[in-house]
Structure 1
């Protein structure tokens, strides 16, 4: 007697019995597992797309102008920020102008 013959009938739901071979049950289980795997793959792909989209949006939000990328421009930016705080008594910004004696 084969294993499929020993498990010839399996009870399914509400007291009804359906004659199903073990091989059919295994096929159904594999189909269900494949469906779950495909659903999980779809979820992973959707999450990956959403993550990439959010990353691109954040990069757009935090994109700095090109002039901030050199050492000198960073120095001058810090200088401008320093002067914007009210410290404007430096020589190169507030050079005293003498009136023309003519």
Structure 2
């Protein structure tokens, strides 16, 4: 009986370790996703544009997107590329 109790305690400890690992992995994955993808509201606030303007950027192919369950997501790198592609420097200074 003592051997069975010891096995069950060891198993329980291993399960707790796995739970902690999975929780940390999920948190890390969500943070990574959030760092690389923005939803429409974030894009509108960042660029100070309206919902209609964001729709136009999507419809015209100017800004790539993903759509999941009716919600649009945008890569942060695509937004940076859009800003860089439309950068105008009349002063002649270079980056």
Q: Which TM-score applies when normalising by structure 2?
A: 0.46
Higher relative contact order, chain-length normalized (CA < 8 Å, sep 6+) = 2
TM-score by length of 1: 0.43
Q: Flag the structure with larger Rg.
A: 1
Name the one with the larger helix percent: 2
Larger strand proportion, structure 1 or 2? 2
